[in-house]
Chain A
Amino acid sequence: MGGVKLRNHRLRIAFVSVSFAVVSIAAFVSSTAAQTFKKAIPTPADWAAVAKLPDFTGVWEIPLGGPAARVTNPAIGVPPRRFAPLSLTPEYEAKRKDLMAHAEQDNQSANCLPPGMPGIMAQPYPMEFLLTPGQVTIIIEAYSETRHIYTDGRPLPDDPDPTFFGTSVGHWEGDTLVVHTVGFSTQTEIEPHVPHSDKMSILEKFRLLDPNTMSVETTVTDPEALAAPYVTNRILKRHRSWTIAEYICEQNNRNYVDRSGKAGINLTVPSDATPAPK
């Protein structure tokens, strides 16, 4: 009996070990399928190469402009310079009109969902650029968001998960950073109330016009939503003394949408117990 028990015990160990190995291999295979590109360990030469790139570092913001803009831009996002009118396919023009008709509902922003791409690059708040070997990182103040642009030669994924920022790769063409982004959630919009399909792709060209002025040319392509590529340009100005501030939208979000779809505001008076700043 004892021997049988022992054998069973050994069998059990063997079974558990094999199971663990199978699970491990499965996990390894799925993770390698998702991320096949391994980032190289940066060398001193890689860091030296970064130093030779155009100086994008620091905090930049879209200037908010004159009297009208200074009132309105903070509430609506900053309109770009358009090279041609936004031209939607009939199907998406109908969707846009439907969204406009229900603009009052505005569920996304009422619930603090961030705009995602490309709207996140048009906020009336600054963004910071970080250049490191094989990567450009953009820290966006609005909604405390981050874009990762891989410049290490990796390809774009064939079938990316749809996300708010998409998946970005970039390369330098002379002094211009060229960024391709794919894989967007259809919860994001090309512009307020302008929808897109999951086929949307975005090409961005970042370059310095002078040491403290950056041009961002953005081309949005979408074979289902757009009748023609939508090309816009925005100008960013550098603010050397600025730092990026915190922006936690859920901290004191008083917007809501009621059951009838109407936007409302929660006017509950904050607790008297909250200590006032001295």
Chain B
Amino acid sequence: MKPITKYAVLAAILFSGLVAATAGAAAHHGFAVFDTSSQKTITGTVHEFQWTNPHTWVWLDVPNGKGGVDTYGFEGMSPNYLERRGWTRKTLKPGDTITVTYFPLKNGDKGGSFLIGKRPNGEELRMFLDSPTEDH
């Protein structure tokens, strides 16, 4: 499977799942602020990665075409959830280049809900992941 196809399939799974479940259930923690009917993609360098509750936040410096940068904010899952699925507080470091696919904010502000980050080498950082295997 070509990387782009695999990526499209992943995105489709994420998308269909989210729409299916947010339709009938309450948004937790302001998920209503995100437009889950569309996805955007943007590339920049990590300004800061906040490994905090109730959400991690990826702050991304994106060239604004006027010689400067705009800093976008992307909400992610909590450290508790992510640390059991391979992430650490050092997964993203300031200066890392990533391309972020996200649900944009409904009000058009610069940011959204982080779905998938892709490094220049093709490595994908997914925010919503399988349940960890049980260990007894």
Contacts and interface: CB of A to CB of B under 8 A. Distances in A.
Interface of A: 61, 63-65, 67-77, 79, 103-104, 106, 109-110, 112, 124-125, 141, 192-193, 211-212, 237-242, 245-249, 251-255, 263-265, 267, 269-270, 272, 274, 276-278
20 contacts: A63-B134, A64-B131, A65-B131, A67-B13, A68-B13, A69-B21, A74-B77, A125-B80, A237-B134, A241-B135, A245-B83, A249-B53, A251-B53, A254-B57, A254-B75, A265-B73, A267-B109, A267-B111, A272-B48, A277-B51
B132 interface: yes
B48 A251 contact: no
B50 A252 contact: yes
A106 B30 contact: yes
A74 B27 contact: no
Contacts of B14: 71
Contacts of A255: 29-30, 33
A275 B31 CA distance: 29
Interface on chain A toward B: helix, strand, loop, or mixed SS?
Answer: loop
B109 to A, nearest CB: 6
B26 interface: yes
A109 B29 contact: yes
A240 B28 CA distance: 28
Contact of A277 (B13, B89, B105, B111): B89
A107 B93 CA distance: 33
Contacts of A125: 78, 80-81
Contacts of B53: 246-249, 251-252
B89 to A, nearest CB: 5
Interface of B: 13-14, 16-18, 20-22, 25-33, 47-55, 57, 59, 71, 73, 75, 77-81, 83-84, 89-90, 93-94, 105, 107, 109-111, 128-132, 134-136
Given A253-B54, A263-B32, A269 B71 contact: yes
A270 B50 CA distance: 8
B52 A251 contact: yes
B52 to A, nearest CB: 4
A103 B26 contact: yes
A210 B30 CA distance: 38
B84 A242 contact: yes
B134 to A, nearest CB: 5
Contacts of B27: 75-76, 103, 106, 263
B20 A68 contact: yes
Contacts of A272: 48
